[in-house]
Amino acid sequence: MEKYSEASNRRCEYKYLIGREPVSEVTGFLSQHLKLDEYSRERENNSYTVRSIYYDSPSFTCFHEKLDGQKYREKFRVRTYNEPGTAPIFLEDKKKNGLFYEKPRAELSDDTIRIIDDPNFDSNEEMAIPEEDRTLIDRFLFHLRGKGYFPVALVAYDREAYIEPGGNNIRVTLDKNLRAGLFPSLDQIHEEERLEYILYNWIILEVKFSQLVPRWLKRLVSLFNLNRQACSKYCTSIGHFLGEAPELKESVANV
């Protein structure tokens, strides 16, 4: 779905944690400046479900780069939405450089899913992979085969999304009901039974923009006493299950 509503060009991202109590007031404020995106309007409670499988190395390179505050970092994920069969499946490479990020993505066919699911499968040259997607898929396969990346976490949450009327510079999302499970397979991306709730009553507010900081953001921050902070859903999930040194955990060593 975010392919439908969020471009992969370079953008800036601010994150805030808010409690459930003021969320209706926050959405009321946002509604004065933005409008619900079409995918939120289509769903109950104005929210659709984002489902992602994150990949990392056996030493949890992506996790530690985030904790260490490395300025440039990237992470790969396979992402889809809502119920099975209702949305495409995408491969994304989210690259961050300080506050800025870009997110190349490719829609996956049955062939490319087979390649990703079995990194030893060596027939990708024969597959019908669109030329514009080949660089991203080849880069991901390099991390799978050369660096041992594997599916580490399945992360899901319910997203209420707002966009700028008449433009695409500003996008605001409220991500609720964060839940996660460890070591999934690709065919488990829609499974809910194995997921555990994380962050409990907290909601992640993300403000994304590609040009100027929204004029109303300073007032929003002041009204609700918001503090900008790092809040990676992947790292929060890994920290919840495995602590700050996950590669030392016996459960990981046996994967």
Q: What is the mean pLDDT of residues 38-60?
A: 94
Q: What is the CATH number of the domain that holds 229?
A: 3.20.100.30
Residue 255: inside a domain: no
Q: Cα(103)–Cα(84) distance, rounded to whole angstroms?
A: 23
How far is residue 6's CA from residue 90's CA, in Å, rounded to a whole number?
Answer: 13
Q: What are the C-alpha distances in Å from 75 to residues 72, 171, 174, 185, 218?
A: 11, 21, 21, 17, 30
Instruction: Report pTM.
Output: 0.90
- Look at residue 4 in the predicted model and tell me its pLDDT: 33
The residue among 113 and 223 whose pLDDT is bigger is 223
- pLDDT band with cut points at 50, 70 and 90 for residue 1: very low
* Confidence (pLDDT) at 253: 40
**How does residue 105 score in pLDDT terms, banded at 50, 70 and 90?**
very high
H/E segment holding residue 117: helix 110-117
Over range 118-144, report the average pLDDT: 79
Q: Is residue 73 part of a domain?
A: yes
- In a domain? residue 83: yes
Q: How many domains does the chain have?
A: 1
Helices 110-117 and 131-146: crossing angle, nearest 10°? 10
In a domain, 3, yes or no: no
How distant is the alpha carbon of residue 76 from its chain centre? Answer: 9
Angle 64-49-9 (CA atoms, 0-180°, nearest 5)? 60
User: In the predicted model, what is the mean pLDDT of residues 86-108?
Assistant: 93
- Percent of the chain residues topping a pLDDT of 90: 71
In the predicted structure, residue 108 carries a pLDDT above the cut 70: yes
Is residue 6 included in any domain, yes or no? no
